[in-house]
């Protein structure tokens, strides 16, 4: 039996699109199964809904294959005989199948969309989840109400009536504002991660940006880079657009351009605080002298191209009470009060090296680290050199023996030294010839008795310690105080470079040796200031935009300089008064106070 299947579809423009295909079979399967002869992809159609077969004598038999009936000429049936010559219409789901006889005698089936019965509603509605759910509008209003109550009203109300939580990072408490996490724009940084459940620890006033006063309650050890008024004057001017944005921000409660949150943004995820870029510093320091005409430092914009010469801090004159900062361009001379030739001590072939080789505590020529130990608590600084630990192995202060043990002169105070020398002068000494005494008035009971024992060189050096050529003069500069022999005080700073960080560990054995930067091998005077200059550092370090190679290290300002650093020389003596939270005369604060 032959079937001519004609499918009629309607385009959006209303034009009909007709497609024909001929099927030479004795039966046709109509259903939702893609393998069906007539495929009707609709939920109201069963996988195999209807079968059409040859019933003989030109008739066609129609029978439902599942539980759902089909509609024949307006009547719902499960089985029927159709005469193609008379014609019939079968409705299955959304399709209308018109059965008729074609001119060549084959059975013709025309498939077209069935007209919708508005009174019957959507036929597929019973097969959709929406039929068991509230309407979209109802659900939208329901969820809006939940969001409004849970994520807006509850946090705001509990914030207004909350019990104040002390901002104490050492003993963190859970915040009392409910559902406030729904307002978070992201995770806190690693440093503030412990405050995830205590939003009000920072956000003290509703709808007002975090204030500086709140930050300082925890970070009270931090100081400003410079005094606030100086920073405002020294800042580069804003563009018109930036100025308008800052005016609007401040009107809504945001601190000014020097506020904490202008640089420290939170809710960016669990990350570490990134170092400031070179531009952050150069915006002000590149031409600061144009705005701050009384500054004592030069402009700086790029370490490789625009950076002032180093100004170490040391004592430029004997008996100075305070160290001074002097540019290395001025070829400064250090007045430490010592006589100390570095070249003799670091030489690998001289007498000092030979002596060090003979001593078990060294066993090798002296190195810088034998005397200088970096202070871990003061980056870039060194612990004071202690004579007894670093010098006495070679420069002995032994003055004699007592009770089978050595006695030695006390070091560090001239008064103590004089007392020890007095004891040495009164000590008995061995006579030249055993059993022979001094005669007459020079005997031990005589008026002019003196110890004429063996004049050993070591004893003379001790006895005349403060005199020219004496023991003390090996290392110290001699002077007189009120007619009494004395020594010039030793003035050696623990740290020479201030206003910046210099980690010696990062420049250790794998990178450089001390003498690569400090000219110890050619320094024969204690007045030599062995601080490397700017050009020495530029052998390796150039600006942030420099191309990194095996020898060149791109170096931004933050590599050596910090912003809030208590040890900086420009640390202000006082911090400006900051407004209390909620007391600002900005729009947000006023509205917040009215709500309360």
Instruction: Quote the strand ranges of 257-337, DSSP E.
Output: 313-314, 324-325
- Quote the pLDDT of residue 576: 41
- Quote the pLDDT of residue 121: 55
Q: List the CATH number of the domain containing 82.
A: 2.60.200.20
Domain that holds residue 108: 2-117
**What's the CA angle centered on 242, arms 237 and 245, to 5 degrees?**
135
- Quote the pLDDT of residue 595: 41
The residues, ordered by sequence, that sit 6+ positions from 536 with a Cβ below 8 Å of its Cβ are 517
- Quote the pLDDT of residue 511: 81
Residues linked to residue 72 through DSSP beta bridges, in sequence order: 75, 90
Q: Are residues 17 and 48 in the same domain?
A: yes
Q: Transcribe 345-412 into DSSP letters.
A: HH-SSSHHHHHHHHSTTT-SS--GGGT--B-TTSTT-BPPPPHHHHTTTTS--EEEEETTEEEE---S
Kindly report, residue by residue over 269-307, the tens digit of the pLDDT.
Answer: 888 877 788 998 898 899 988 899 888 788 999 999 999
Strands 478-481 and 484-487: antiparallel
Q: Provide the phi-psi class of 74: left if phi over 0, else alpha when psi is between -120 and 50, else beta.
A: left
| The pLDDT of residue 61 is above 80 | yes
In terms of Cβ atoms closer than 10 Å to its own Cβ (0-12, 13-18, 19+), residue 282 is: buried
152 or 241: which carries more pLDDT confidence? 241
* Pair 473, 534: CB distance under 8 Å: no
Q: Are residues 196 and 80 in the same domain?
A: no
In a domain, 250, yes or no: yes
- Quote the pLDDT of residue 569: 38
Q: CA 130, CA 472: separation in Å to the nearest integer?
A: 101
Q: Are residues 170 and 260 in the same domain?
A: yes
Q: Are residues 106 and 168 in the same domain?
A: no
In a domain, 151, yes or no: yes
The tally of domains found in the chain comes to 2
Strands 107-113 and 95-101: antiparallel
In a domain, 149, yes or no: yes
In the chain, the N- to C-terminal Cα span, in Å, equals 87
- Quote the pLDDT of residue 168: 57
- Of 165-179, 347-361, 404-418, 494-508, minimum mean pLDDT range: 165-179
Domain boundary among 85, 117, 149: 117
Kindly report, residue by residue over 507-542, the tens digit of the pLDDT.
Answer: 877 788 888 899 999 999 999 999 999 999 999 999
Q: Are residues 62 and 104 in the same domain?
A: yes
Residues linked to residue 21 through DSSP beta bridges, in sequence order: 5
> What average pLDDT does this structure show over 175-194?
81
Q: Which residues of 246-263 are buried (b: 16+ CB within 10 A; e: fewer)?
A: eeebbeebbbebbbbbee
- Quote the pLDDT of residue 335: 95
Please, which pLDDT band fits residue 337 given cuts at 50, 70 and 90?
Answer: very high
- Quote the pLDDT of residue 29: 93
Q: Are residues 65 and 105 in the same domain?
A: yes
Across the chain, mean pLDDT equals: 81
Q: Are residues 28 and 143 in the same domain?
A: no
Q: CA 561, CA 537: separation in Å to the nearest integer?
A: 15
Q: CA 476, CA 466: separation in Å to the nearest integer?
A: 9
Residues of the chain with pLDDT > 70, as a percent, come to: 83
- Quote the pLDDT of residue 30: 93
> What average pLDDT does this structure show over 321-331?
93
**What's the CA angle centered on 578, arms 588 and 282, to 5 degrees?**
95
330 or 393: which carries more pLDDT confidence? 330
Please, which pLDDT band fits residue 205 given cuts at 50, 70 and 90?
Answer: confident
Q: CA 211, CA 207: separation in Å to the nearest integer?
A: 12
- Quote the pLDDT of residue 326: 94
In a domain, 562, yes or no: no
For the chain, the farthest-separated pair of C-alpha atoms sits apart, in whole angstroms, at 174
> What average pLDDT does this structure show over 354-375?
89
Q: Are residues 96 and 175 in the same domain?
A: no
Q: Are residues 39 and 98 in the same domain?
A: yes
- Quote the pLDDT of residue 530: 93
In a domain, 66, yes or no: yes
Residues linked to residue 407 through DSSP beta bridges, in sequence order: 400
Q: Which of 455, 458, 358, 456 is nearest to 398 (CA)?
A: 458
> What average pLDDT does this structure show over 307-324?
93
In a domain, 469, yes or no: no
- Quote the pLDDT of residue 477: 93
Q: Which of 195, 203, 196 is nearest to 162 (CA)?
A: 203
Kindly report, residue by residue over 543-584, the tens digit of the pLDDT.
Answer: 999 999 988 999 998 888 888 765 443 333 443 443 343 344
Strands 107-113 and 2-10: parallel
Question: For 151, which DSSP code?
Answer: I
In a domain, 404, yes or no: no
Model pTM above 0.85? no
Q: Are residues 144 and 234 in the same domain?
A: yes
Question: For 200, which DSSP code?
Answer: G
* Pair 360, 393: CB distance under 8 Å: no
Please, which pLDDT band fits residue 311 given cuts at 50, 70 and 90?
Answer: very high
Q: Transcribe 61-77 into DSSP letters.
A: EEEE-SSS-EEETTEEE
Q: Are residues 168 and 209 in the same domain?
A: yes
- Quote the pLDDT of residue 456: 46
Tokens of 47: 């996988």
DSSP three-state, residue 476: strand
Q: CA 105, CA 69: separation in Å to the nearest integer?
A: 28
Q: Are residues 13 and 59 in the same domain?
A: yes
* Pair 43, 129: CB distance under 8 Å: no
Domain boundary among 83, 117, 151: 117
Domain boundary among 82, 117, 152: 117
- Quote the pLDDT of residue 428: 56
Q: Which residues of 460-495 are buried (b: 16+ CB within 10 A; e: fewer)?
A: ebbbbbbeeebbbbebbbbeeeeeebbbbbbbbbeb
Please, which pLDDT band fits residue 53 given cuts at 50, 70 and 90?
Answer: very high
**What's the CA angle centered on 555, arms 552 and 559, to 5 degrees?**
135
The residues, ordered by sequence, that sit 6+ positions from 548 with a Cβ below 8 Å of its Cβ are 554
DSSP three-state, residue 530: coil
455 or 403: which carries more pLDDT confidence? 403
The C-alpha torsion from 378 through 383 and 384 to 386, rounded to 10°, is 160
Kindly report, residue by residue over 419-477, the tens digit of the pLDDT.
Answer: 888 877 665 555 444 444 545 544 554 443 444 444 445 555 667 788 888 888 889 99
In a domain, 477, yes or no: no
């Amino acid at each position: 039996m032959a079937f001519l299947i004609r499918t009629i579809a309607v385009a959006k423009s209303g034009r009909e699109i007709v497609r024909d295909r001929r099927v030479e079979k004795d039966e046709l399967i109509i259903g939702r199964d893609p393998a069906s002869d007539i495929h009707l992809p609709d939920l109201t159609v069963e996988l195999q809904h209807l079968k059409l077969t040859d019933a003989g004598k030109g008739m066609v038999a129609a029978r439902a294959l599942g539980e759902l009936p089909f509609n024949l000429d307006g009547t719902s049936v499960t089985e029927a005989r159709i005469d193609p010559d008379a014609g019939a219409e079968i409705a299955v789901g959304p399709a209308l199948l018109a059965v008729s006889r074609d001119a060549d005698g084959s059975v013709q089936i025309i498939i077209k969309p069935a007209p919708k019965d508005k009174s019957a509603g959507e036929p597929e509605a019973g097969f959709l989840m929406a039929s068991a759910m509230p309407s979209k509008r109802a659900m939208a209003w329901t969820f809006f109400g939940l969001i409004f109550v849970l994520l807006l009203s509850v946090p705001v109300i509990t914030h207004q009536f909350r019990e104040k939580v002390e901002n104490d990072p050492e003993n963190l408490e859970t915040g009392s504002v409910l559902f406030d996490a729904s307002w978070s724009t992201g995770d806190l940084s690693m440093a503030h991660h412990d405050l995830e459940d205590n939003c009000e620890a920072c956000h003290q006033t509703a709808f007002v940006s975090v204030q500086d006063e709140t930050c300082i309650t925890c970070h009270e050890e931090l100081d400003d880079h410079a005094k606030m008024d100086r920073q405002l004057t020294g800042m580069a001017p804003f563009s018109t657009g930036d100025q308008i944005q800052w005016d609007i921000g401040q009107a809504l409660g945001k601190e000014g351009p020097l506020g904490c949150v202008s640089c420290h943004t939170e809710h960016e995820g669990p990350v570490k605080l990134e170092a400031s870029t070179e531009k952050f510093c150069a915006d002000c320091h590149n031409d600061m002298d144009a705005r701050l005409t009384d500054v004592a430092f030069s402009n700086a914009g790029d370490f490789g191209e625009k950076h002032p010469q180093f100004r170490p801090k040391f004592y430029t004159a004997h008996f100075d009470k305070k160290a001074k900062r002097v540019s290395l361009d001025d070829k400064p001379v250090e007045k430490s009060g010592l006589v100390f030739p570095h070249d003799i001590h670091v030489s690998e072939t001289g007498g000092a090296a030979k002596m060090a080789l003979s001593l078990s505590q060294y066993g090798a020529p002296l190195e810088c680290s034998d005397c200088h130990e970096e202070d871990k608590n003061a980056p870039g600084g060194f612990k004071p050199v202690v004579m007894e630990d670093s010098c006495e192995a070679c420069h002995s202060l032994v003055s004699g023996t007592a009770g089978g043990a050595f006695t030695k002169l006390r070091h560090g105070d001239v008064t103590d030294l004089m007392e020890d020398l007095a004891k040495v002068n009164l000590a008995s000494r061995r006579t030249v010839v055993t059993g022979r005494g001094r005669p007459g008035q020079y005997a031990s009971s005589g008026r002019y008795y003196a110890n004429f024992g063996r004049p050993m060189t070591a004893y003379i050096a001790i006895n005349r310690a403060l005199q020219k050529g004496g023991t003390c003069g090996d290392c110290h500069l001699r002077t007189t105080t009120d007619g009494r022999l004395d020594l010039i005080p030793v003035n050696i700073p623990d740290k020479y470079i201030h206003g910046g960080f210099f980690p010696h560990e990062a420049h250790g054995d794998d990178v450089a040796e001390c003498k690569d930067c400090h000219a110890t091998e050619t320094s024969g005077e204690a007045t030599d200031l062995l601080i490397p200059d700017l050009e020495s550092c530029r052998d390796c370090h150039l600006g942030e935009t420099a191309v990194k190679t095996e020898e060149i290290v791109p170096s931004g300002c933050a590599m050596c300089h910090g912003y809030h650093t208590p040890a900086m020389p420009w640390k202000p003596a006082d911090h400006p008064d900051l407004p209390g939270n909620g007391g600002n005369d900005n729009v947000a604060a006023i509205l917040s106070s009215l709500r309360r």
